[in-house]
Structure 1
Amino acid sequence: MSLDPNPRPDDSSSTTGPVTPPAPSEQATEAPTVVAVGQPAHKSILREYAEAIIIAMLLAFAIRVFVVQAFKIPSGSMIPTLLVGDHILVSKLSYGLQWPTDCKIQPGFPPVTCYSSRTLIPFGSIQRGDIIVFRFPEDEDKDFIKRVIGLPGDTIHVRNKVVHINGTPFDDHAFTQHTDPPVHDGRISPRDNFGPVTVPEDAYFVMGDNRDHSLDSRFWGYVRTEKVRGKAFRIYWSWSGQGSWTEWVRWERLGKAIQ
C-alpha cells in the first residue's frame, strides 16, 4: 500500500453546490497584532548634548596640549615687544612634537597639569632671539615669557646694561628698552652688571625686553629645555582698558606677528 505525500480531500466531502459561508460565531473575533522588534530607542536630548560637550572638551584639551595655546600678558617685562593686555598664541609644535610628563590631576579645566615635556619628533631647535613661554623655575604653577639670549655653552656677561655673548656685545636695540638711567653695582643687584656665566647643556639664558624691569635669568638662573612650553608667534587680541572707550582695544596690534 502506497502513501500519497499530498493527500487529497475525501471525495465524499466534496460538493458541487454553492459554498455556504461560515457562521458569524466561526469568524475570527480578534485582529492580528503586529509587534516591532529591534527598533533602537532614540537618545535623549540631554545625552546628546553631554556627548557633544565631552567630545569638544577632549578636542580642546588635545589642541591645547599638542598644537597651540593662548596666553595673556599680565606684566610689562616684555615691553615694547609685548604690552600688558596682549593676548598671544604659543605654538607647541615649533620645536617638535612634545609629550607631556610630570603631570598631576587637579579640579578644573584642564583637569591635568603637566610640568615638563619630552620631544618625540624634533622639528627644530630653540634659537637666540626666540620668545618662549616656560614654567617659572621658582614656582612651576606659573608661566613666564622671555626672550632667549644665551644658548647652551654660551658665556653671558652684562656690563653696565650691555649684554655680551662670548665676549662680543649683543645688538639688542631693536627690541629692548632701558627706562631707569642709574647703573646698579653688581654686588648690590645683578640687573646692570652680571656674570660672566656659562650656560649649561640643555638650558637657556633668558631676559625680558624691558631690561630694567624684568625678573629673568639674571636673578633666578636658567630655563631647562623640558620646561619650555612653546614659542610665542602671534597677538590675536589686545586690550588696554584705559583712556576713552574707543581706545580700549588696540586694533593695530590684532594679528601682529611676534618677533
Structure 2
Amino acid sequence: MNPRWQKLLLEYLEALAVALVLALVIRTFVVQAFKIPSGSMLDTLLIGDHLLVNKFLYGTHIPFTDKVIFPIEDPQHEDVIVFEFPEDTSKDFIKRIIGVPGDVLEMKDKVVYRNGQKLDEPYVKHTDPGIQARRDNFGPITVPPGKYFVMGDNRDESYDSRFWGFVDKDKIRGKAWVIYWSWDGPSDIRWSRIGRLVR
C-alpha cells in the first residue's frame, strides 16, 4: 500500500477509535438516549418520544457496580427519572418521583397526599372514572431510607410503585432531561416537541 494512503488510513482509524471511546464515556457517565415505548407517562411523554437522560446529576455509577460517586444532588419530588425495573433489571422504566425517603404517602380515591398535604399535580391524566382498590387507594405508607416511590402521570394506566414497591436509589439511571426527537411513525414527526425540556 502507498505509504501516504497507509498513513491516512491509520489517522482515520485513530480518529474513529477516539470517537468510539468518547461516545462510550459520554453514554456511561454523562447522558444516555432513551425511547418512550408506552403511554404510562401521557401526556408529559408520548409514545415515540426520544429523550436524553442526565446521568451525572444524581452521581456517576461506576460501571458493573451499584456504587455512585460525585452526586450533585439527590432525586427530588416531581423529578422524572429512568431506573432499572425492580421486577426485571434488564428493562428500564420511566416514572415521576412522588415520595422521597421519610415521606408518608396516602392515596384516597385517586388523590395523593404527602405528609398530610394534598398534592397539586397538574401533570396527571385520568382515563377511567371508576375507582379500583389497589390502584386508586393505598396507605398511609412511609418511604424507607434509600428508596423512592414513583408513579406514572397517566395514573389509571401506569404499572408503578403502587403495584411493585419502591425504587432503590442505586438503581436510578438518571433524570429525564430533554426530548431530542419525537414521532408517531415516519410520516408524523412531532416537530413542536423536539427540544422540549421534560418537566
- Which segment is superposed worse, 41-50 or 60-69? 41-50
Is 2:35 the counterpart of 1:69?
Answer: no
TM-superposed CA distance for 1:46, in Å, is 4.8
| SS of alignment partner, residue 170 of structure 2 | helix
What one-letter code is carried by the residue in structure 1 that aligns with 2:147?
Answer: A
Identical counterparts, % of pairs: 54
Q: Which runs of 5+ in 1 are unaligned?
A: 1-40, 104-115
What is the RMSD computed on CA atoms of the aligned residues? 1.7
Is 2:181 the counterpart of 1:237?
Answer: yes
Counterpart CA distance in 1 for 2:32 and 2:74 is: 19
In the TM superposition, structure 1's runs of 4+ consecutive aligned residues that sit over 2 Å from their partners are 41-54, 116-119
TM-superposed CA distance for 1:93, in Å, is 1.9
Is the Cα contact below 8 Å between 2:108 and 2:138 reproduced in 1? Answer: yes
Q: 1:176 aligns with which of 119, 124, 128?
A: 124
Deviation per CA, 1:167-187: give whole Å up to 9, x if none. Answer: 221111x10110111101x2x
Q: 1:130 aligns with which of 47, 57, 79?
A: 79
Is the Cα contact below 8 Å between 2:62 and 2:69 reproduced in 1? Answer: no
Counterpart CA distance in 2 for 1:231 and 1:122 is: 13
Is the Cα contact below 8 Å between 2:146 and 2:169 reproduced in 1? Answer: yes
Deviation per CA, 1:155-213: give whole Å up to 9, x if none. Answer: 111111111112221111x10110111101x2xxx211122211110100000000000
What one-letter code is carried by the residue in structure 1 that aligns with 2:25?
Answer: A
Q: How many residues align?
A: 196
Match of residue 23 from structure 2 = 60
Q: 1:198 aligns with which of 134, 137, 142?
A: 142
| SS of alignment partner, residue 132 of structure 1 | strand
Is 2:170 the counterpart of 1:257?
Answer: no
Q: Which has the higher helix share?
A: 2
Q: Which has the higher contact order (CA 8 A, sep 6+)?
A: 2
Deviation per CA, 1:31-53: give whole Å up to 9, x if none. Answer: xxxxxxxxxx6645554443332
Match of residue 150 from structure 1 = 99
Counterpart CA distance in 2 for 1:140 and 1:99 is: 15
Q: Which runs of 5+ in 2 are unaligned?
A: none
Match of residue 83 from structure 1 = 46
Counterpart CA distance in 2 for 1:161 and 1:258 is: 24
TM-superposed CA distance for 1:86, in Å, is 0.4
Counterpart CA distance in 1 for 2:157 and 2:71 is: 34
Counterpart CA distance in 2 for 1:129 and 1:165 is: 12
Counterpart CA distance in 2 for 1:224 and 1:183 is: 29
